[in-house]
Amino acid sequence: MGAEDTASGLEYEIFEDLRRRVGGAASRIQSTAAAVAQLDGLAALAETAVKNAYVRPRVDDSAEIDIRNGRHPVVETLLDGDRFVGNDLLLDGEANRILIITGPNMAGKSTYMRMVALCAVMAQMGSYVPARHARMGVVDRVFTRVGAYDDLARGQSTFMVEMLETANILHHATDHSLVVLDEIGRGTSTFDGISIAWAVAEYLHNHPGRQARTLFATHYHELTELELTLPGVKNYNVAVREWNDRVIFLRTVARGGTDKSYGIQVARLAGLPRSVIERAKVILEELEAETLAADGLPRFARPHSAESQQLFLFPPAAVHPVLAEIKSLNLDHLTPFEAMQRLRELKEKAEE
């Protein structure tokens, strides 16, 4: 027991001596650790750049973000034997200020947008980026509105969280920011969602000091009509091909919009019952038949006067007199013979 006490005392003396010596050299040890950490980080970035064929970006004070054959640095390393399909991007704060990106689920819209955001962060932290060429105009902040989640503990629904994040972006983004918006407005009714998404895009395009370079992915194909009214909006889509009523994802982002989301084909891939798929097709055909106004023009990109800035989803149209007469009929008080007589009269009026 005496030997054990002596040994413990010696150990504590040695520990105290070591602690005093370390404390006296604390600043030197900390600076050395910081240098080793920085060297380790740079070496890791260099090794990754060589291993994955990254390129040195040109970082400047311009408004231009020009990426050619860009790839997602994480997704491409997770592909099992498949080659990642690279894509180009041009944002310049002028004619290409907002890109509306359409395409089906699983086609790669979110991957494309996150690739751009990651390249912006990597370029400004001193890393090479996964691309063949990259010019990165400095961004002050990267704002994202991606995913769907709630905060029920605070009484906030999925849609409320989405709107809170969107509000934060609209209040704090600047002309030098990069904004990534994925499916704005999907947490509410279709018309409410389209209206909010449309107004958000217009705000980011028109509001002084908030004209951020923006990537806007959406399944609201009506938003592609923004290109007709706003000079800084351009439409892009993730290309697919249909074959035997199935969809093949090409993973290529191409110029122009799309008018289909292929949601039913994706639902088939997920395993929904065949009867549900077939019924969905019928309903979709009926809904698509109602997408044009009475004059045959798209409902959303209609010109409006300076006196009225209201954007009507259903523009007023003159009611045909035959339709007006049909609406006025009281069918509960018509005999079969009277109904036939009225039908004959209405047919004659329609022919006239």
Answer left, alpha or beta for residue 277, where phi above 0 means left and psi between -120 and 50 means alpha. alpha
Q: What is the pLDDT of residue 309?
A: 46
Do 245 and 341 lie in one domain? The reply is: no
Do 130 and 162 lie in one domain? The reply is: yes
Using DSSP, state whether 253 is helix, strand or coil.
Answer: strand
Residue 182 β-bridge partners: 217
Does 138 reside within a domain?
yes
Do 88 and 185 lie in one domain? The reply is: yes
Does 337 reside within a domain?
yes
Q: What is the pLDDT of residue 148?
A: 67
Q: How confident is the model over 285-310, as a mean pLDDT?
A: 53
Do 144 and 78 lie in one domain? The reply is: yes
Q: Which residue has the higher pLDDT, 155 or 22?
A: 22
Which domain-ending residue is among 250, 277, 304? 277
Q: What is the CATH number of the domain that holds 145?
A: 3.40.50.300
- Joined together, the tokens standing for residue 310 give 């209201």
Do 167 and 113 lie in one domain? The reply is: yes
Do 38 and 186 lie in one domain? The reply is: no
Do 47 and 150 lie in one domain? The reply is: no
Does 1 reside within a domain?
no
Rounded Cα distance between 292 and 197, Å, is 20
Find the helix packing angle between 2-24 and 26-51, rounded to 10°. 70
Q: Which residue has the higher pLDDT, 305 or 151?
A: 151
Mean pLDDT for all residues in the chain: 85
pLDDT at 298 over 80: no
Please compute, for residue 112, the number of CA atoms within 13 A of its CA located in the half-sphere on the CB side. 33
Query: Given pLDDT bands bounded at 50, 70 and 90, which one contains residue 304?
Result: very low
Which domain-ending residue is among 225, 254, 277? 277
Buried b (16+ CB within 10 A) or exposed e, 271-294: eeeeeeeeeeeeeeeeeeeeeebe
Does 92 reside within a domain?
yes
pLDDT at 305 over 50: no
- Joined together, the tokens standing for residue 74 give 């994480």
Residue 82 to residues 87, 207, 242, Cα–Cα distance (Å)? 16, 43, 21
pLDDT for 144-201, tens place per residue?
A: 988 766 666 666 778 888 899 999 999 999 999 999 998 888 878 888 889 999 999 9
Using DSSP, state whether 106 is helix, strand or coil.
Answer: coil
Do 71 and 47 lie in one domain? The reply is: no
Q: Which residue has the higher pLDDT, 291 or 42?
A: 42
Rounded Cα distance between 269 and 261, Å, is 14
Q: What is the pLDDT of residue 239?
A: 86
Q: pTM of the prediction?
A: 0.71
Q: Return the minimum-mean-pLDDT range out of 213-227, 268-282, 288-302, 313-327.
A: 288-302
Q: What is the pLDDT of residue 123?
A: 95
Query: Given pLDDT bands bounded at 50, 70 and 90, which one contains residue 260?
Result: confident
Do 71 and 96 lie in one domain? The reply is: yes
Domain count, the chain: 3
Nearest alpha-carbon partner for 99 in 303, 254, 313: 254
Does 34 reside within a domain?
yes
Q: How confident is the model over 86-108, as a mean pLDDT?
A: 90
pLDDT > 70: percent of the chain: 88
Q: φ and ψ at 262, to 5 degrees?
A: 55, 30
Do 91 and 38 lie in one domain? The reply is: no
Domain ranges, residue 222: 57-277
Do 194 and 340 lie in one domain? The reply is: no
Does 144 reside within a domain?
yes
Does 21 reside within a domain?
no
pLDDT at 38 over 90: yes
pLDDT at 296 over 80: no
Does 19 reside within a domain?
no
Q: What is the pLDDT of residue 69?
A: 95
- Joined together, the tokens standing for residue 239 give 């290309």
pLDDT > 90: percent of the chain: 51
Do 216 and 68 lie in one domain? The reply is: yes
Q: What is the pLDDT of residue 168?
A: 94
Which domain-ending residue is among 220, 245, 277? 277
